[in-house]
Amino acid sequence: MRATDIKRLSLYLLFAPFALWILLLILLPHAGMMYISLREKVAPRVYEFGFENYINFFNEPIYWNTLIRTGSMSLLVTFLALLLGFPIAYYIAKIAGNRSRGALFLMCLIPLWVSDLIRAFGWILLLRETGVISSSLQWVGLIGTPIEFLYNDAAVIMGLVYTVILFMIVPLVSTLDGMDKSLIEAGYNLGGNGPTVLRRIIIPYAMPGIVAGCIVVFMLTAGSYLTPILLGGKNSSWFTEQIYDQFITRYNWESGAAFGFLLLAFTSIAVWLGLKLSGQTLNSTVADT
């Protein structure tokens, strides 16, 4: 065998797992879902090709209201994660010493060692009517009767921010890490005050990391299922819950598949808009960090 053949063969072999993964786990299921979503049920076991499932979504306000609500709450979660994550990332990357940096990063990672489910139950233990917070407040005497902190939007948002903030911090730390400290000093030296340096130098420099973190966090939040259900209960009306309902409760795969694609389209458009507005490209953000 010639050397070029060996090279080509090894390339194929190395590429094969990735190709199989994309094909079997991403493309094939989505193609199947797409096919199902475009079937209209006209009679039991009789289907026709059509957009009925998609049209249903727009005709039923409860469906698209849920999607809008999921989208806007995800945006809020993304914004809060950025607001909380940026100072943490800045501290880790630029202020903390070399030794404490590793420890701080590890502390951010530790929650990931516990599964989503356990973490959500942790919040439940804290927030429920008989939970830690309610009973401590009672014990201190600030409230007379137990208060239910669970099953409202605030609880859902808090839980989601807690779950996803790490995915904001990691890309931010990696971009800020690459920033020469003398850029900040030059910013001050040339006459900028704290807010100017932050607005004109640090944030523009960190923009790829900010956008990358926001994309990841937004996608994770909009597609999350466990946290909104467990912390928001019946009132959460998260769009993934609707999809779950269609598939499992109503056994209406056609409609569920259509909802799935609508969520994908919605989040993709949101990400595209975000990239356009921030003047970034996918290449300069997610691929770089």
231 in Cβ contact with 120 (< 8 Å): yes
Phi first, then psi, for residue 41 (nearest 5°) are -85, 115
Residues 48, 60, 177, 185: which binds other proteins (CB under 8 A)? 185
- When asked if residue 189 is in the footprint of other proteins (CB under 8 A), the reply is yes
In the bound state with other proteins, the residue whose beta carbon lies nearer, of 150 and 172, is 172
| Binding positions for other proteins, 212-251, rule CB under 8 A | none
Q: Which residues are within 8 A (CB) of 2 and not within 5 positions of it... i.e. 6 or more apart?
A: none
Residues 25, 125, 186, 287: which binds other proteins (CB under 8 A)? 186
Q: How far is the CB of 279 from other proteins (least distance, A)?
A: 10
254 in Cβ contact with 40 (< 8 Å): yes
Quick one: which segment of 99-107, 179-187, 219-227, 248-256 binds other proteins (CB under 8 A)? Answer: 179-187
In the bound state with other proteins, the residue whose beta carbon lies nearer, of 121 and 205, is 205
- When asked if residue 193 is in the footprint of other proteins (CB under 8 A), the reply is yes
- When asked if residue 192 is in the footprint of other proteins (CB under 8 A), the reply is yes
Query: In this structure, which long-range contacts are made by residues 26-33, counting pairs with CB atoms below 8 Å and at least 24 apart in sequence?
Result: 33/257, 33/260, 33/261
Whole-angstrom distance, CA of residue 161 vs CA of residue 214? 12
- When asked if residue 198 is in the footprint of other proteins (CB under 8 A), the reply is no
Whole-angstrom distance, CA of residue 250 vs CA of residue 245? 6
Residues 17, 44, 97, 191: which binds other proteins (CB under 8 A)? 191
CA-only gyration radius of the chain, Å: 24
In the bound state with other proteins, the residue whose beta carbon lies nearer, of 198 and 229, is 198
Of the candidates 176, 210, 218, 179, the one whose C-alpha atom is nearest the C-alpha of residue 286 is: 210
In the bound state with other proteins, the residue whose beta carbon lies nearer, of 59 and 182, is 182
What angle separates helix 116-127 from helix 132-140, to the nearest 10 degrees? 20
- When asked if residue 95 is in the footprint of other proteins (CB under 8 A), the reply is no
State the residues that interact with other proteins by CB under 8 A. 180, 182-183, 185-193, 196, 200-201, 204-205, 207
